[in-house]
Amino acid sequence: MAFQQETVAPSPPASRPPASASAAEAHHLSRLREISSLVNSGGDLDSVLQRIAFAVCGAPPWARSGIMAVNRATGYSELVARYDPTIARDTELPTRWKLETSPSLKVVETRRPIIIEDAQTTSEFQDYRQDSIARAYRSVVILPLGCSDAQGREMVLAVNSPEKLEVSGEELDFLMTAAHLAGIAIDKAKLFQAEWQRSERLRRTLSINSCLLERVLSGASLSMIAGMVGTILSEPLVVLDFIDGETYGGRSPEPESIGDCEWAAALRGEAGRALARLAGSAQPADFREPKPLDLSACGLPIVRRALVEPLQVDSETVGGLVIFPRSEALDDLDRLIAQEAKFALSAQMMRRHSELRREAHDLADLFERLTEGDWQHGDQILSRAARLGVDLSQPFRLLALDPPASGPIARGRAASASAQGVVRSLRRSLPEAFVVDQQAAVFLGVPERSATAAGAVSRRVEDALKWATGGSLRVAVGPLCRHPKEFRAARDHCLRTLTLAAMFDRRGILRQEDFGPFALLLSALDSEALRSFVDEAVGPVEAYDRAHATDLLETAGAFIDQSCRFQTTADRLGIHVSTLRYRLKRLQELFGIDLEEPEARFRLALALRLRAIGRAGADA
């Protein structure tokens, strides 16, 4: 390695009797062999640094040495290793110096050594002057090592003598060679240490993974499994459980902005729901595709990228694993650990999912028997319900929910997965109820012991749906079932209400009475036929009004509402009776609608009422 030197020489050096050439060469070779032996020594980085500091000045003329790291972040040159026989009485002396008054920064930037012939009189490096007076040394040589420590800080080697020396070219060549070999030894030690740490981490990870799978197979809780995953992965993470509605988070992804306790509290609120929505819509990407995450709307100062992997069972997302990497991507070992963690979490959720699936199957079979109307084996049905925890001796309120994005008849995997999310949310919020997911709807049977319970149940149902869907669904409230035989009629009642709601796009908590006196009539009609009837009856008049800025349809509706009384209708519309008569005449001339005829009047009144119900649903 070729260096150019820089010398700070305030005054001529004192004379020193030179050692013999052969003795000096032997000393130099001995020191270089010592440093060379460190290149493949396999020692840890700290011990290698200490041995370099000793080897470079184990004999005159250099009495002390030190290795400093240039910490640009803090603005200091920091001591990392040194050889100093007087250390016992120097322990109170500083171990770091400001870069602005230290030669270390200049050495690493120029990659050239600096010689300070008398540090006690130098005016350029004030920290060195104070330190040299305190520790009684004079001449100093600072050399670049051409390498960095484990934290990435560039390092320099400094040697000093208690006397003023004239550093010869041979001596400087020795020091530069020693620095070059020392840099190689340090890089090798860093590489060895990194590989050892990686090997040790892999060994520890495999051991923990083995223990993790043992815990999964032994039936450990998901909270315990999530905690173990948090100890394996070095990055902050969140585990989402859609089955039981739990969120497990450990360390904060932004510890400078939000503490661990505050982060845990946020996960129990809107932040947890935001992460659940993100995981619910994510596709498996093997922890290779970071997704943008903005939790500022949740009141958290977190805008960053995260790795989001869904936890799936039979292609249904039942949870999620969210990792917040410090860098843009995970390294190979971290990705392997993340994959193992995902496998363990998925296996744990599969167990719980299977348990709930068996329970759901048994409840669905019970509900089918309740609603098929065959009570020859009624005692068996009642005892089976009791075994499933359903006490049919008490009144039940039956409700029906239309799964989102599926229409009144839910079919297909996507609809089924959505319905399962609704079912799980309802089971958590209403543990006393039974929930059944059928093709037609999700049915909910809730024990009701008082007349005021129906409203409270409806509100709890609506709140429960927010976690699973983020919005309002169609929820049909059926009649009270005081006897198990009444479940069939209650089911049909709920399905009729959902059919009406779908026809008129009504959402929220609904009852059949909300659709007025035409509910029974509408439920018996085909929805397409119904729309065609309304369009045929009032569509042409409505189109004419829009095209000619007239009010024929409004006038006809008011006339029917006022029982065909001319003066009261005119007063309501704010027009003259003659204007009213003219409009009704135009209605007959243009469209053949004679409101004096009972059949025509009934047809138009029915169409207007149906249209009003539909528009009310759209507004709602």
- Range scoring the smallest mean pLDDT among 24-33, 87-96, 420-429: 420-429
Report CA-CA distances (Å) from 334 to 303, 319, 328.
23, 21, 13
- pLDDT of 410 reads 32
Angle subtended by helix axes 566-573 and 552-561, to nearest 10: 130
What pTM does this model have? Answer: 0.51
Q: What is the maximum span of the chain, computed from C-alpha positions, in angstroms?
A: 136
Split at pLDDT 50, 70, 90, the class of 457 is: low
> Among 327, 321, 286, 272, which residue's Cα sits nearest to residue 305?
327
Indicate if the pLDDT at residue 9 is higher than 50. Answer: no
Q: Taking 70 as the threshold, does the pLDDT of residue 15 lie above it? A: no
Neighbouring C-alpha atoms within 13 Å toward the C-beta of 19: 13
Q: What is the mean pLDDT of residues 530-544?
A: 85
Confidence of residue 537 (pLDDT cuts 50, 70, 90): confident
Q: Which candidate, 139, 200, 204, 202, places its Cα nearest to that of 172?
A: 139
Q: What is the pLDDT of residues 581-600, one digit of tens each?
A: 999 999 999 999 998 888 88
Residue 414: predicted pLDDT: 35
Q: Which domains does the chain have, with CATH numbers?
A: 6-193 (3.30.450.40), 219-350 (3.30.450.40), 372-516 (3.30.70.270), 527-619 (1.10.10)
- pLDDT tens figures, 151-165: 889 999 999 998 898
Is residue 430's pLDDT more than 90? Answer: no
**CA pair distance 483, 488, nearest whole angstrom:** 11
Mean of the per-residue pLDDT values for the chain?
80
Structure token digits, residue 535: 């369009």
Winning range, highest mean pLDDT, from 65-79, 215-229, 400-414: 65-79
Kindly list the distances between the CA atom of residue 440 and the CA atoms of 405, 416, 472, 492, 538, in Å, as whole numbers in the listed order. 13, 11, 18, 11, 33
Of 22-26, 107-111, 389-393, minimum mean pLDDT range: 22-26
My answer on whether omega of the bond before 61 falls inside 30° of 0, hence cis, is yes
Pairwise CA distance, residues 556 & 336, whole Å: 74
**Alpha-carbon distance values, 133 to 10, 137, 572 (Å):** 16, 7, 106
